[in-house]
């Protein structure tokens, strides 16, 4: 698998495209929004140039990565690719539409992957005519830095598909972890309830947001407090994942905190909106 098609040029999609290009894969990056696509490419170039400045990459390596990267004008450009991964909005209807298109366009041998952080891979696979070749490949943010990749097997995913994607992750210098298809997988099933409980401690007046974050940083050796981390992830994303966990398991321990819902309703989404639990310039 040398020819890679990435759908979605946001923070995750652009990061995924950068990592593949930096490891000598030929990458086509596509987004329905031309401005987002332009911004995604510019961001990749800036990160590569910064890596050269900080001596984490040679200038030749950065230029080679840029040469391996191109934009796609439509989904039809996936026709000659071996592997596709989508990083579009976390909505099942949008993802299913993307996978139906990829299934129609891409060659029979191609593997279709989703970077979803919580939606069921089994449901995505079911809308294609190649369910055994559909898999989850959940990168962590920021993609160029974080080593972990959750590889999520749908119930239909074949052993061959899993093995090929596991090898692909290793070629990207990532550490793959095999996960079965359950709501939230491992990362978000563990992380999001912790964040949600941190929000509850503020909501119930147990401690201030600063003190909650200090406890987790100094007491539990976390590099970032859970409320600051929630701001960086996006409070709307955190709420969406908690709702998926709550719906998927039907267990009250996953109920989203009312304060989290209120912040999202107010448009306080975290760093990307300028305000969440903290205020950002």
Residues 6+ apart with CB under 8 A from 254: 193, 196, 242, 245, 246
- Residue 179 three-state SS: strand
Q: Which of 68, 86, 150, 196 is catalytic?
A: 150
Q: Burial level of 8, CB count in 10 A (0-12/13-18/19+)?
A: buried
Tokens of residue 211, six digits: 């003190």
| Peptide bond before residue 107 is cis, with ω within 30 degrees of 0 | no
Which of 118, 188, 196, 240 is labelled catalytic? Answer: 188
Instruction: Let me know: does 261 contact 233? Beta carbons within 8 Å.
Output: no
**Closest-CA residue to 102 (of 122, 123, 131):** 131
**Residue of 115, 138, 196, 240 marked active site:** 138
- Say whether 73 is catalytic: no
117 is catalytic: yes
Q: Which of 22, 117, 118, 196 is labelled catalytic? A: 117
Verify whether residue 170 is a known catalytic residue.
no
Q: Is 222 a catalytic residue?
A: no
Q: Which residues are catalytic?
A: 117, 138, 150, 188
């Amino acid at each position: 698998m040398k020819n890679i098609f990435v759908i979605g040029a946001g923070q995750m999609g652009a990061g995924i495209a950068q990592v593949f290009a930096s490891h000598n894969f030929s990458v086509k990056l596509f987004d329905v929004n031309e401005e987002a696509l332009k911004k995604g490419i510019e961001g990749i170039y800036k990160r590569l140039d910064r890596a050269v400045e900080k001596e984490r990459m040679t200038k030749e390596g950065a230029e080679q990565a840029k040469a391996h990267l191109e934009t796609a004008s439509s989904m039809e450009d996936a026709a000659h690719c071996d592997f596709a991964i989508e990083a579009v909005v976390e909505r099942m209807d949008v993802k299913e539409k993307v996978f139906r298109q990829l299934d129609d366009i891409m060659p029979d041998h191609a593997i279709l992957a989703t970077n979803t952080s919580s939606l069921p891979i089994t449901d995505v696979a079911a809308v294609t005519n190649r369910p055994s070749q559909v898999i989850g490949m959940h990168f962590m943010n920021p993609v160029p830095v974080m080593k972990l990749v959750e590889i999520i097997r749908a119930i239909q995913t074949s052993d061959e598909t899993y093995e090929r994607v596991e090898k692909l992750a290793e070629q990207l210098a990532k550490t793959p972890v095999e996960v079965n298809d359950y709501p939230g997988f491992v990362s978000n099933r563990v992380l999001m309830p912790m964040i949600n409980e941190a929000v509850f401690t503020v909501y119930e007046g147990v401690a201030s947001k600063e003190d909650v974050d200090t406890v987790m940083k100094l007491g539990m050796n976390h590099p970032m407090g859970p409320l600051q981390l929630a701001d960086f992830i996006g409070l709307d994303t955190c709420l969406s994942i908690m709702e998926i966990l709550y719906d998927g398991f039907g267990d009250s321990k996953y109920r989203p905190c009312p304060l989290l819902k209120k912040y999202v309703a107010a448009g306080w989404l975290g760093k990307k909106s300028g305000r969440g639990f903290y205020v950002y310039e």
